[in-house]
């Protein structure tokens, strides 16, 4: 299966990866290696268990913050 969610600004990849790692650390997920942290190397079940409700609520919060930011411009 191809991956459809591509980064619009390729230079942002490093920053996005850093953000993902910070979120994982804040969620107290025990990752020992970079490879273990890559969702592409894990099953859907493992990724779902890791993200769980964090994924949806995190996206909603990020959207809310972006909308607030746009209102204040």
pLDDT in tens, 6-35: 778 888 888 888 887 777 777 665 555 555
Using 50, 70 and 90 to split pLDDT, how confident is the model at 4? low
* CA gap 29, 6 in Å, rounded: 25
Domain membership of residue 5 (yes or no) is no
How many domains would you assign to the chain? 1
- pLDDT at res. 53: 59
pLDDT in tens, 28-66: 655 555 555 566 677 777 766 666 656 667 778 888 888
Which residues, in sequence order, are CB contacts of 40 under 8 Å at separation 6+?
none
Domain hosting 21: range is: 12-71
Domain membership of residue 7 (yes or no) is no
Domain membership of residue 1 (yes or no) is no
- pLDDT at res. 16: 83
Tokens coding 65: 């913050």
Give this prediction's pTM: 0.38
């Amino acid at each position: 299966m191809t991956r459809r969610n591509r980064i619009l600004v390729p230079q942002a990849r490093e920053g996005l990866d850093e953000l993902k790692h910070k979120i994982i650390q804040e969620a107290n997920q025990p990752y020992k290696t970079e490879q273990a942290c890559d969702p592409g190397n894990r099953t859907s079940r493992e990724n779902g268990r890791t993200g769980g409700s964090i994924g949806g609520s995190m996206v909603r919060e990020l959207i809310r913050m972006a909308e607030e930011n746009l209102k204040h411009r």
